[in-house]
Structure 1
Amino acid sequence: MQTIQKTPFVWFQGNAPFDPEKPTLLFIHGAGLDGRFWQRQMEGLTSSVNCLAITLPGRKTSQLPACTTVAEQASHITAFLDEIKIEKPFICGISMGGAIVLTLLTDNSTRFSGGIIINSGARLRVNPMIFEMVEKDCNHFKNLQTQLSISPSTPADTVKPILDAASIDRPETILKDFRACDDFDIMDRLHQITAPVLILTASDDQLSPVKYGQYLKDHISGSTLICIDRAGHLSPVEAPQPVNRAIADFLSSCSKQNRTDPTPE
C-alpha cells in the first residue's frame, strides 16, 4: 500500500494513478484513530475500487490542530476533495467518521455518488466518564475502549496490530474528537440526504447499537441497512470480509443504477 503525504492532508492510496473506470471511495476514521484503521478495506477492495483513507488534523502527521466539531471536520474533507479534484466519490465513515459522512451528505448530497455509514448515528452522546479517563490515564482508556469496542466473538489479538498502528497518542486530540461527537446531532436534517446510502450496523456493538442504524434507515429515504453478525463497534477490522462484501455490492449496485438511469434531455 502506497503512502502519500500532502500538507495539510495525509492519505493512503491503494494504487496510483487512479483508474478512471473504477469508483473512488474515501474512508474517514473514527475518534482517536487515523487513516491506517482502514487497512483491511484498502487491501480487500483496491482491485475494484480507487481507495483513499484520510487522516484528520491533530494527528502526528498533520500540521493542523484537531477539529473541535464534526462540522469543522467535514469542512476539511470538502477542502481535501477540492484540492485533489475527484468528482462524485463515495464516502465511508465509522462512528465519528460516520457523523462526518452524514454531515457532508446533508450539506450537499449531489457532490457524492453515495455514502456508507458504519456503526454511527444521527446523534452521538459520550459518557462523561470517558473524558475523565482520557485526561487521567490515556493508555488505560485506550485498552478499555478496545475491550468495549469488539465483539466477544473477536479474538483481541486479531485486531490489535491494526489498532496499535491506527490509535493516536495525543490526549488533547482524543478529547476534541469525543467532544465533537458529544455535540453532534443531525436528527432533524436526515431528510435532506438524497444520495444513495448504505448503513452498516454490528450485532454486538455496545457503543453504537443496532437501533442507531435503524433510526438512520427509517429517516434516510431509499437507504439500505445491513447488520454484520458476530462483530462489534470495530467491525471493519473484526469482520473485514462481510464488511468489504457489503461495500463492494453497494458500489456495484449504485454503478449499475447510474448506467441504467436515463440521460436527461
Structure 2
Amino acid sequence: MNAIALRGATIHYDDLGPSAGLPVLLVHGHPFNRTLWAPQSEALAEAGYRVVTPDLRGYGQSGVTRGKVFLSDFADDLAALLDHLGIEGAVVGGVSMGGQIAMEFQRLHPQRVRALVLSDTSAPAETEEGKAFRNRLADRLLAEGMDGYANEVIDKMLAAYNVAAMPEVAGRVLGMMRATDPHGAAAALRGRAERPDYRDTLAAVRKPVLVVVGADDVYTPVADAEAIRGLVPHATLAVVEKAGHLPGAEQPGHFNAALLDFLATRVAPRD
C-alpha cells in the first residue's frame, strides 16, 4: 500500500505488477474501497499488467472531504495519481459509481484513456427522484452511520442467493461498507446526484470498451449494460451468470476471464 497527498487529500493506493506492463486503473464503487478489486489485481498482475487501485477520497484509508464531492473531483484525483506514477495513459475501469467515474474521466481526460471497462453502471444523468433519494440517504448515513444501510443493501449488492451461498464474499463486502466513513459516503452521494449525462461522451468513444454486468444485478440490470453497448456499437458485452451488482467479487473467475481476454485481444500494449 502507498499513499500520496494530492489535491487536498491523502490518497492511498496499490500499484501491483511490472512497472513496464500496460497500466490498468480500477476504480471501486460506493461504499467500498480498493480491496474490492483484489481478485482482479492479482490476476492482472500475474498476467503482466500494471494494476493501480486507489481508495477514492472519502473511502478506505484515503482522506475524507466533507460536504460534496463531485465525480469530476474523483476523476481529477485519478489524473493526478497517474501523473504521480508517471503513467501517461491507462485502461480505466470501474464498477457502479466507479464506472461513472471512469466515464467522467473519459469526458475530462480522453487523451489518457487507452480503453474503458464499465461494470454494472449506467450512463444517464440522475433523475429528480434519484437526486432526492441520494440526498436523503446522505442525511441518513450522517445521522445513523453505515451499519443499518449495509445490512439493508447486501442482498442487492450481491445477488440475494449469493449472500448465503458465499458467506466469505458477503462478509468482505459488508466489512467494506461498514468501515466506510459516513462523511465520505455522504459527500460522494451528494456529488453523484448531480452527475452529468454520459451518453454523448460514450457515443464519441473510439477506444476499446468492455461492458460487464451481473446477470441478476437489480441496481443496474442487463438492460442498462445493453444500452451502453447500444451507444458504443464496437463495445464488447459480457454478462456474468450467477452474479448481481458486484460480479468481480461474486464470480471472479468469469469476470477475470472476460477482462483478460478483452485486454489481450482488443487493447494493444501501446494503443
TM-score (norm 2): 0.85
CA RMSD across the alignment: 2.3
Paired position in structure 1 for 2:100: 99
Question: What CA deviation, in whole Å up to 9, does each residue of 1:52-104 have, x standing for no partner?
Answer: 11111123633351662111111111111112111321111000100011111
CA distance in 1 between partners of 2:40 and 2:171 (Å): 15
1:176 aligns with 2:187: yes
Matched, 1:187 2:185: no
Q: Cα deviation per residue 1:230-255 (whole Å; 9 max; x = unaligned)? A: 10001111010111111101110124
Change in CA separation of 1:130 and 1:206 when aligned onto 2, cut-off 3 Å: farther
Question: Do the aligned partners of 2:139 and 2:186 also contact (CA within 8 Å) in 1?
Answer: no
Is contact 2:32-2:180 (8 Å) kept?
no
Offset of 1:153 from its aligned partner? Answer: 3.4
Identity of aligned residues (%): 21
C-alpha distance in 2 between matches for 1:60 and 1:163: 12
CA deviation map 1:181-222 (0-9, x unaligned)? 322232233222222110001111011111111111111242
Give the match's secondary structure for 1:13: strand
1:116 matched to which residue of 2? 117
The C-alpha deviation readout for 1:126-158, integer Å capped at 9, x for no partner, is 471644543443211011111221113312413
Inter-partner Cα distance in structure 2 for 1:33 and 1:211:
24
Secondary structure of 1:183's counterpart equals coil
Q: Residue 9 of structure 1: SS of its match in structure 2? A: strand
| Cα distance change, pair 47–60 in 1 and its aligned pair in 2 (3 A) | closer
The 5-angstrom pairing of residues 97-246 of structure 1 reads 97-123=98-124, 125=126, 126=130, 128=133, 130-131=137-138, 133-137=140-144, 138-154=146-162, 155-167=165-177, 168-184=179-195, 185-246=197-258
TM-score (normalised: structure 1): 0.86
Rounded to whole Å, the distance in 2 between the matches of 1:254 and 1:111 is 17
CA shift, 1:164, in A, is 4.3
Partner Cα distance (2:60, 2:160) in 1 = 32
The amino acid that maps onto 1:159 is V
Structure 1 residues 16-31: aligned runs within 5 Å? 18-20=18-20, 22-31=21-30
Q: Distance in 2 between matches of 1:173 and 1:11?
A: 17
Long gaps (5+) in structure 2: none
Residue 5 of structure 1: CA displacement?
2.2
1:250 equivalenced with 2:262 (yes/no)? yes
Q: Could you tell me whether the CA contact under 8 Å between 1:25 and 1:89 is conserved in 2?
A: yes
What is the letter of the counterpart of residue 13 of structure 2? W
Contact 1:32–1:177 under 8 Å retained in 2:
no
The alignment covers a number of residue pairs equal to 254
Cross-structure match for 2:4: 6
SS in 2 for 1:117: strand
